[in-house]
């Protein structure tokens, strides 16, 4: 593929040069796209023997796509909690493990966003460890996992409510901490805005923040960090 190559799929203009320019192919955002359109994009990746990732894939779309690609030539992985789907064509060169990413969720209600982050980092080749339900209401749970966190190249912290957990984690690790506010919480949480503002005002210098419920974005950034660290 050439750097400037665009594949015209009618209602989709696929950036075929993304992998060459940026290291990873374009990721499919499934929300708002019908299943047929997503299948059309996945076929283009399959023709290029490229491991494809799609996010925000609901159960109905996943079932349709699994049926479309139900052949010995493809392997399909669907994570219903993360709402992600991966298509691995036969003959696709798998990425070698690149660094370590730890994902911490404050509570089990944050699990869908944490899982999306995990699936993204795994797709990018990072060794990914998920630590669930380790919020500040029971700090001893976090302390028990410190050796895992301190061994990571990047840590993703997913939290709703007041969003305090990333600041706590940031005080214990020497790597970047990517904070993900979630829309989990009661009324004054304002759909994740309270957590977002709390994380943006973190006093931990190694904390950076992505958008509300943006597990994919956190996983992608962490995957890049892990890859660069591994290659140094």
Which CATH number fits the domain that encloses residue 53?
3.30.110
Q: Which tokens in the block code for residue 34?
A: 């019908």
* Residue range of the domain that includes 65: 6-89
- Given 89, 108, 123, the domain boundary residue is 89
Number of folded domains that form the chain:
2
pTM of the model: 0.90
**Is 95 domain-assigned?**
no
Question: Is there a contact between 184 and 134 (Cβ–Cβ < 8 Å)?
Answer: no
Same domain, yes or no: 194 and 147: yes
pLDDT in tens, 123-156: 999 999 999 998 888 888 889 999 999 999 999 9
**Is 1 domain-assigned?**
no
**Helical H segments across the chain, by residue range:** 18-22, 35-47, 59-68, 111-123, 139-143, 146-150, 165-170, 193-200, 215-231
Same domain, yes or no: 139 and 183: yes
- Given 57, 89, 121, the domain boundary residue is 89
| Alpha-carbon gap, residue 92 to 224, rounded angstroms | 21
Same domain, yes or no: 105 and 83: no
Q: Other C-beta atoms within 10 Å of 199: how many?
A: 26
The secondary structure of residue 93, as a DSSP letter, is P
**Is 94 domain-assigned?**
no
Residue 49, CA distances (Å) to 45, 73, 127 in order:
6, 10, 23
| Alpha-carbon gap, residue 51 to 85, rounded angstroms | 11
Query: What is the model's pLDDT at position 56?
Result: 97
**Is 190 domain-assigned?**
yes
Same domain, yes or no: 62 and 17: yes
The secondary structure of residue 132, as a DSSP letter, is -
CATH classification of the domain holding 193: 3.40.50.1970
Angle at 203 between CA 202 and CA 206, to 5 degrees: 85
Same domain, yes or no: 196 and 110: yes
- Given 89, 122, 153, the domain boundary residue is 89
Look up tokens 């994919």; give the residue: 216
Given pLDDT bands bounded at 50, 70 and 90, which one contains residue 228?
A: confident
Find, among 130, 128, 81, the residue nearest to 100 by Cα. Answer: 128
Q: Other C-beta atoms within 10 Å of 10: how many?
A: 7
| Alpha-carbon gap, residue 51 to 152, rounded angstroms | 25
Q: Other C-beta atoms within 10 Å of 139: how many?
A: 12
Look up tokens 């493809």; give the residue: 74
Same domain, yes or no: 106 and 46: no
**Is 107 domain-assigned?**
yes
The secondary structure of residue 67, as a DSSP letter, is H
Same domain, yes or no: 38 and 147: no
Same domain, yes or no: 129 and 71: no
Same domain, yes or no: 122 and 202: yes
pLDDT in tens, 55-110: 999 999 999 999 988 877 788 999 999 999 999 887 777 777 789 999 999 999 99
Q: Is the pLDDT of residue 229 over 80?
A: no
**Is 78 domain-assigned?**
yes
């Amino acid at each position: 593929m050439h750097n400037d190559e665009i594949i015209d799929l009618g209602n989709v203009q696929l950036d075929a040069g993304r992998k060459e320019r940026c290291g990873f192919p374009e990721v499919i955002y499934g929300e708002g796209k019908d299943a047929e359109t997503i299948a059309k994009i996945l076929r283009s990746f399959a023709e290029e023997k490229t491991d494809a990732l799609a996010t925000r894939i609901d159960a109905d779309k996943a079932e349709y796509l699994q049926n479309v690609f139900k052949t010995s030539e493809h392997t399909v992985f669907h994570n219903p909690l993360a709402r992600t789907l991966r298509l691995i064509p036969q003959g696709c060169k798998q990425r070698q493990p690149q660094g370590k990413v730890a994902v911490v969720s404050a509570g089990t209600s944050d699990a869908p966003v944490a899982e999306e982050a995990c699936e993204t980092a795994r797709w990018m080749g990072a060794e990914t460890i998920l630590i669930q339900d380790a919020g500040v209401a029971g700090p001893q749970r976090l302390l028990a996992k410190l050796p895992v966190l301190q061994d990571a190249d990047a840590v993703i912290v997913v939290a709703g409510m007041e969003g305090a957990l990333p600041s706590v984690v940031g005080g214990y690790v020497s790597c970047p901490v990517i904070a993900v506010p979630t829309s989990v919480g009661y009324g004054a949480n304002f759909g994740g805005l309270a957590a977002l503002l709390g994380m943006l005002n973190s006093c931990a210098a190694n904390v950076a923040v992505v958008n509300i419920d943006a597990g994919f974005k956190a996983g992608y950034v962490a995957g890049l960090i892990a890859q660069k660290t591994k290659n140094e």
